[in-house]
Chain A
């Protein structure tokens, strides 16, 4: 035990001498190094790429989370237990406004990103504030929708269909609310600290998050509301 030897590596040198072509162990394919991209040839990627990439991976996991709630909605869509069906509770007009507001917030979010790329604090703040305001309007409309339904006795406790409806729409609303909290924190950070590298990295992540929520909402809008209303 005390002497582990190491004869194998010595013998391997001899083998390489006898088999200089290292059959079966040569590297393959031409490699075109891309600096800073994190590809094998050039070493680790820059911090900006690593942070953005990691956040993309998180977003993928979040999409999987949503997909479970979509799946539950698909399974329980007609499990009304004698209660109201999706067709009866969808108010397509209100949801159209909601959708427009949220999509507009994605646009202002993008404008804020353009402003932060230009290192313009005031414009960044204005567009972030606009994004937050639109997000807040979205949440208020959604809350109002839930309140109107609850007043009619249409609650998740009524049936499986309503459970999966409120669960899916509510999960999205919860994400938007968390996004609003994040947005306020980001605005405070930009105001106090300016565009330090780590803050611009977080802004990239916030933008990704906000746009991803929009994409999920397209799914909710289509599958729950449009298809629910029989359109």
Chain B
């Protein structure tokens, strides 16, 4: 009846997962109780859960990503603590538990922390920057988000019911085969990642179609903001790379469930085929994460320097160059496979060449600041911290790209330091910079400046104190994923690294306090103009927060930096553009099909993990019925009357008039 599932799946003998999951469950119950008591369910259901508004979905993606970042960070604290106390000792985490923690840390941080955050930014911003009202497929967008959320749910369920993979964040066979990992840990990994991967693919297709086929009049390719360009490149990579992940995980699933021989080390299976396939997805994946962050930094550098982005066209070219070359470097993750000098040379050179594209971008950002009026607001601090951190991460990457050097540093702490250097320095700093920058657009008020600066400095210093010692440890021969250490010479560096984690904890606390303080002081931080930073792209033409239809009348773009042009014309002529004609528009109806499908996908995944076959069949049939019922709807859209648009647009214009007056008085001062 319940397959492999019975009461022994609950880790009653292990205090750490038990207490953690008890706290999480109590917290979740508390949230549910509060929402119920306050009577918020109808609002949350109608305005958020069933929403197909790209901005709402984007915000929910970011919320999910933020929560998972904290979850993954908790794993990180446990690992650094374990390594600092387990010197010639066993530490407090037994090996089978420690192995689950480093596996969960990587999986959660990349796939359920960073990915949702990046997808959230793309969802929120791309339609706004393109001057359109929604993405190409709003309902699929909702399905994609909820599938990602189901994947995250499954990973977290593994904490309480059963176990997680002990194989590392990429389950290399033969270790991950049923023979050597007989438990449900790898199955949790497989189904969670498979389900969320489908969600990501849906979003990727959606954004590519949106950018290529839905732009407001006049928005030709070379007038698109760089963030939109990098989102396009990132989503092209999603479309090209995520099917490889789907295929690879499906093959491993077949090996584990029905005894096939794709990756076994017996009967003609080929474990190295897994490693090749998974990195053919895995390397583009890191560019999927970092390219949109490059876009975020580009917007910030240009806005806070008061200048157009330096070398816009070279930025676009470099983005697409990285997009293509990122598919040609995967083998540098395993030079030690021994593919021979020819192959290793090719991949060594391609891995070094890809740094050229990033180098072009770095120079462009620096030259954007040069001669500009740089304002050191919080988004700009994160961006400058990024340049410093990312350059060093990039340079150590070039070191690792040299095959002979890689034979020494392969799988060492040097590697661990390197990829945290680029992913924390690039992606995490990027999403924090973006959060500070676009928060007013999403919620209508700015974030508190002081706490934001505190969070930045704690994060920057904490990052370096944590990871600089890991470079040294790596060069001294320490390998990654050690549960205990038998080498006392490494002790000081492990302590320093732990101290760095404590600074990082202060950074995380500052970030949370910043959010709380900003919400409490929201009236003081209110953004009434819709353009709090003197912005340059079309999202700043809308009020903060943007209405659900984004633009009452679709803008007509006449040059690069669409909104900047509109603003300059208004300042020059001392008046806004004449009021447009309003026509009724159609917007997609909200629908629960996304959460419905995802709910049954999560059940399906859970049933497959625990071999509850009847439940798997029932949930697949239920999900299909849901889709047919959805497809049977007669009404997909509702009309927004012209009067409602006119009312909203007039309120927006009144705010802009006030802004124009303020700018004019400044102009008099100059």
Select which of A8, A49, A58, A79 is within 8 A of B373 by beta carbon.
Answer: A8
Q: Is the interface of A mostly helix, strand, loop or mixed?
A: helix
Residues of chain A with a CB closer than 8 A to B666's CB: 5-7, 10
B378 CB, min distance to chain A CBs, angstroms: 10
B42 at the interface (CB under 8 A from A): no
Residues of chain B with a CB closer than 8 A to A64's CB: 239-241, 243-244
Select which of B212, B214, B273, B628 is within 8 A of A185 by beta carbon.
Answer: B628
Contact B201 A61 (CB under 8 A): yes
B246 at the interface (CB under 8 A from A): yes
B84 at the interface (CB under 8 A from A): no
Contact A11 B213 (CB under 8 A): no
Interface string of A6-23 (1 = CB under 8 A from B): 111111111010000000
Residues of chain A with a CB closer than 8 A to B201's CB: 61
C-alpha spacing A14/B373, complex, angstroms = 15
Contact A38 B636 (CB under 8 A): no
- Which residue on A lies nearest to B267, using beta carbons? A81
Residues of chain A with a CB closer than 8 A to B137's CB: 54
Interface string of B548-570 (1 = CB under 8 A from A): 00000010010110001001100
A118 at the interface (CB under 8 A from B): no
B446 CB, min distance to chain A CBs, angstroms: 8
Contact B533 A160 (CB under 8 A): no
Residues of chain A with a CB closer than 8 A to B644's CB: none
B209 at the interface (CB under 8 A from A): yes
A40 at the interface (CB under 8 A from B): yes
Contact B261 A159 (CB under 8 A): yes
Contact B564 A160 (CB under 8 A): no
Among B69-77, B247-255, B506-514, the stretch that binds chain A is B247-255
B38 CB, min distance to chain A CBs, angstroms: 32
Residues of chain B with a CB closer than 8 A to A153's CB: none
Residues of chain A with a CB closer than 8 A to B571's CB: 9-10, 13
Contact A43 B564 (CB under 8 A): no
**Residue total for A at the interface (Cβ-Cβ under 8 A):** 64
Contact A7 B670 (CB under 8 A): yes
Interface string of B643-658 (1 = CB under 8 A from A): 0000000000000000
Residues of chain B with a CB closer than 8 A to A192's CB: 632
Select which of B217, B244, B270, B446 is within 8 A of A43 by beta carbon.
Answer: B217
Contact B213 A40 (CB under 8 A): no
Give the number of A-B contacts (CB < 8 Å): 196
Contact A65 B261 (CB under 8 A): no
- Which residue on A lies nearest to B241, using beta carbons? A64
B427 at the interface (CB under 8 A from A): no
Residues of chain A with a CB closer than 8 A to B136's CB: 50, 54
C-alpha spacing A6/B304, complex, angstroms = 10
Contact B269 A160 (CB under 8 A): yes
Given A44-B132, A61-B243, A75-B273, are A12 and B268 also a contact pair (CB < 8 Å)?
no
Among A128-136, A161-169, A211-219, the stretch that binds chain B is A161-169
B106 at the interface (CB under 8 A from A): no
C-alpha spacing A5/B662, complex, angstroms = 9
Contact B260 A156 (CB under 8 A): yes
B66 at the interface (CB under 8 A from A): no
- Which residue on B lies nearest to A157, using beta carbons? B259
Instruction: Please report which residues of chain B, range 70-92, place their CB below 8 angstroms from some CB of chain A when the two chains form the complex.
Output: none
Contact B270 A79 (CB under 8 A): yes
Contact A160 B268 (CB under 8 A): yes
B590 at the interface (CB under 8 A from A): no
- Which residue on B lies nearest to A158, using beta carbons? B267
Interface string of B208-222 (1 = CB under 8 A from A): 110011111111111
- Which residue on B lies nearest to A186, using beta carbons? B631
- Which residue on A lies nearest to B531, using beta carbons? A6
C-alpha spacing A220/B48, complex, angstroms = 45
Contact B270 A75 (CB under 8 A): yes
Given A40-B218, A53-B213, A163-B269, are A65 and B258 also a contact pair (CB < 8 Å)?
no
Interface residues of A (CB under 8 A from B): 1-2, 4-14, 16, 25, 27-28, 31, 38-45, 49-50, 53-54, 57-58, 60-62, 64-65, 68-69, 71-72, 75-76, 79-81, 156-164, 166-167, 181, 185, 189, 192-193, 198, 202
Interface residues of B (CB under 8 A from A): 132, 136-137, 201, 204-206, 208-209, 212-223, 239-244, 246-248, 251, 254, 258-262, 264, 266-270, 273, 277, 306-308, 373, 375, 446, 449, 524, 531-534, 554, 557, 559-560, 564, 567-568, 571-572, 624, 628, 631-632, 634, 636, 659, 662-663, 666-667, 670
Given contacts A25-B559, A189-B631, 11 further A-B contacts (CB under 8 A): A6-B662, A11-B670, A12-B564, A13-B572, A40-B220, A68-B244, A72-B251, A80-B268, A81-B267, A161-B268, A198-B636
Can you list 15 contacts pairing A with B, beta carbon distance less than 8 Å? A4-B534, A6-B666, A16-B572, A25-B308, A50-B209, A53-B212, A53-B213, A54-B137, A64-B243, A68-B248, A76-B269, A76-B270, A156-B254, A163-B254, A189-B631
